[in-house]
Amino acid sequence: MDLLKLEKITKTVNGTVKITGSKSESNRLLILQQFYSNLEIENISNSDDSELMQKALANTTSKVNIGHAGTAMRFLTAYFSVKENSEIVLTGSHRMKNRPVKILVEALRSLGANIEYLEKDGYPPLKIKGQKLVDSFVEIDGGVSSQYISALLLIAPTLQNGLKLKFKGKVTSIPYIKMTLGLLQELFIESSWEGDTITILPKANLETKKVVIESDWSSASYYYSLVALSKNAEVTISSYKQNSLQGDSVLAEIYKNLGVETTYKTNALVLKNNSAINTSYFEELNLASAPDIAQTIVATCFGMGVACYLTGLHTLKIKETDRLVALKNEIEKLGGKIEITNESLRLFPSEKINKNIAIATYDDHRMAMAFAPLALKVPIVIEEPEVVSKSYPTFWLDFEKVTR
Ligand SMILES: O=C(O)C1=C[C@@H](OP(=O)(O)O)[C@@H](O)[C@H](O)C1
Ligand SMILES: C=C(OP(=O)(O)O)C(=O)O
């Protein structure tokens, strides 16, 4: 097993880092580029998930393997369903074969798609025969993963009559749906969201258009954590926009309560530690809109000895790993006290952190990156550190740059 031993960081965290483009925006725009070939994209993410997406779209064989990339799996299921005269087997890693796609497959089938399960009912691998979908109304459960909704919205403008999508029940991870609508809007595709229904109008062609992708906000979370855990720290990260399409930009507000001040300076974020902590903010924090930063927040709060009660975590169990269980296991190894349910997590304040603990990462990039900043408190070991490449391949180089 590969291990990365991180000595205790003694330096004040300081430096400048350029972070790759948002993987969520990249994977949406890559799909849209297939439909609108004069769309130009700049600052595409260099993450494994976006590289796998590009490879899949360029594929000329009968099988595509998208590894651990959830967005690629879901968006490509919709994409291959409308790619006329194509026939493809879409598969992924062992974990991907256990991440559900039934809600999306049923919605696509109701629009006329031809999709078959090759192993377990409701899960990849899928055999997809692409064809013209004639229907333009779909009803879908929005409470399990917003990726199913985004997948449908991405193909919607190519359908003859566009799409009316009606939600059954609650909707989760809403900012990701808004991101999809925001990108469609940038391509002059008209949409509306009224009550429980999203309507997308058809669009056949696009005038030449360039979109510059903002850097990844989920990746920024690890710098927020480093700055929160290090007095006098100052880190500049680029390139960010003042009006982000990424819901994880809520980090600026959340970490303000952990003593991190964010300033925008010509496309960059300057993060400074001002030690002004507001522990009551964490008495109940609902993360249904920003599930990917839950691990970072738990690790920061643990390192700072701040109690937190996080709710809205119902999607964490079906991500790269069951993130609730993974967090419980690793925080307990470090000597912390933590309780979990299927949708919430309670961390108790702790003063002591065990040294030289090997953190298991469960094929989950965010477990590795979220726990690394704890090296500011104790020497710590990260197992299988290369997992970071799923979203942030140069993470360890950048981490080194600001901490050593
Ligand atoms: O649409 C997207 O780009 C994403 C949506 C979220 O998933 P869920 O909607 O399943 O929570 C998020 O966790 C994932 O990392 C990326
Ligand atoms: C959940 C994530 O990704 P995905 O669902 O796209 O695999 C993530 O990046 O944290």
Dist CA 346 CA 332 (whole Å): 12
Q: Tell me the best of 292, 317, 324 to mutate to test the pocket of ligand 2, counting ligand atoms within 8 Å of each CB and taking the most.
A: 292
Residue 366 Cβ inside 6 Å of ligand 2? The answer reads yes
Dist CA 22 CA 220 (whole Å): 10
- Tell me, in angstroms, the distance from the centre of ligand 1 to residue 317's CA: 13
Architecture of domain 23-212: Alpha-beta prism (3.65)
DSSP for residue 215: B
DSSP for residue 374: G
83, containing H or E segment: none
Structure tokens at 287: 């993360």
Can you tell me the ipTM of this complex? 0.99
Antiparallel, parallel or unpaired: β 197-200 and 191-194: antiparallel
**pLDDT tens digits, residue range 147-195?**
999 999 999 999 999 999 999 999 999 999 999 999 999 999 999 999 9
Dist CA 76 CA 393 (whole Å): 23
Atom 6 (ligand 2) nearest CA: 70
Q: Domain boundaries in the chain?
A: 3-20+214-403, 23-212
Could you tell me what percentage of the chain is helix, strand and coil, using 3-state DSSP and rounding each to the nearest 5? Answer: 40, 25, 35
Dist CA 353 CA 223 (whole Å): 20
Q: What is the pLDDT of residue 1?
A: 86
Atom of ligand 2 nearest to the CA of 319: 1
Dist CA 399 CA 204 (whole Å): 44
Q: What is the pLDDT of residue 122?
A: 98
Dist CA 140 CA 363 (whole Å): 30
- Tell me, in angstroms, the distance from the centre of ligand 2 to residue 90's CA: 18
Antiparallel, parallel or unpaired: β 209-212 and 39-42: parallel
Atom of ligand 2 nearest to the CA of 68: 7
- Tell me, in angstroms, the distance from the centre of ligand 1 to residue 256's CA: 24
Contact residues for 313 (Cβ-Cβ < 8 A; gap 6+): 287, 288, 291, 294, 323, 324, 343, 344, 345
Contact residues for 194 (Cβ-Cβ < 8 A; gap 6+): none
Residue 221 Cβ inside 6 Å of ligand 2? The answer reads no
- Which strands make up the sheet holding 380-383, listed edge to edge? 3-6, 380-383, 357-359
**Looking at the CA of 315, which ligand is closest?**
1
Atom of ligand 1 nearest to the CA of 218: 15
Atom of ligand 2 nearest to the CA of 69: 7
Q: What is the pLDDT of residue 274?
A: 96
Atom 3 (ligand 2) nearest CA: 70
The DSSP annotation for 3-54 comes to EEEEPPP-SPPEEEEEPPBPHHHHHHHHHHHHH-TTEEEES---SHHHHHHH
pTM of the model as a whole: 0.98
Residue 71 Cβ inside 6 Å of ligand 2? The answer reads yes
Residues 237 and 266 sit within 8 Å (Cβ to Cβ): no
- Tell me, in angstroms, the distance from the centre of ligand 1 to residue 189's CA: 22
- Tell me, in angstroms, the distance from the centre of ligand 2 to residue 70's CA: 6
Residues 373 and 226 sit within 8 Å (Cβ to Cβ): yes
Atom 4 (ligand 2) nearest CA: 70
Residue 28 Cβ inside 6 Å of ligand 2? The answer reads no
Provide residues with CB under 6 Å of ligand 1. Answer: 24, 71, 145-147, 150, 172-173, 176, 291-292, 315
CATH class of segment(s) 3-20+214-403 = alpha beta
Instruction: Tell me the catalytic residues.
Output: 292
- Tell me, in angstroms, the distance from the centre of ligand 1 to residue 173's CA: 7
Count other Cβ atoms within 10 Å, centred on residue 196.
13
DSSP H stretches of helix in 111-216:
146-155, 174-186
List Cα–Cα distances, 324 to 70, 132, 312, 330, in angstroms.
18, 40, 12, 10
Dist CA 251 CA 268 (whole Å): 15
Residues 149 and 142 sit within 8 Å (Cβ to Cβ): yes
Q: What is the pLDDT of residue 154?
A: 98
Angle at 51 between CA 45 and CA 54, to 5 degrees: 105
Q: Tell me the best of 24, 30, 218, 289 to mutate to test the pocket of ligand 1, counting ligand atoms within 8 Å of each CB and taking the most.
A: 24
Structure tokens at 262: 């964010």
Residue 391 Cβ inside 6 Å of ligand 2? The answer reads yes
- Which strands make up the sheet holding 137-141, listed edge to edge? 137-141, 163-168, 197-200, 191-194
Angle at 113 between CA 176 and CA 204, to 5 degrees: 65
- Spacing of C-alpha 98 from chain mean position: 18
Q: Do domains 3-20+214-403 and 23-212 have the same CATH topology?
A: yes
Q: Which residues of the chain have pLDDT under 50?
A: none
Atom 15 (ligand 1) nearest CA: 292
Residues 359 and 335 sit within 8 Å (Cβ to Cβ): no
Atom 8 (ligand 2) nearest CA: 292
SS3 263: strand
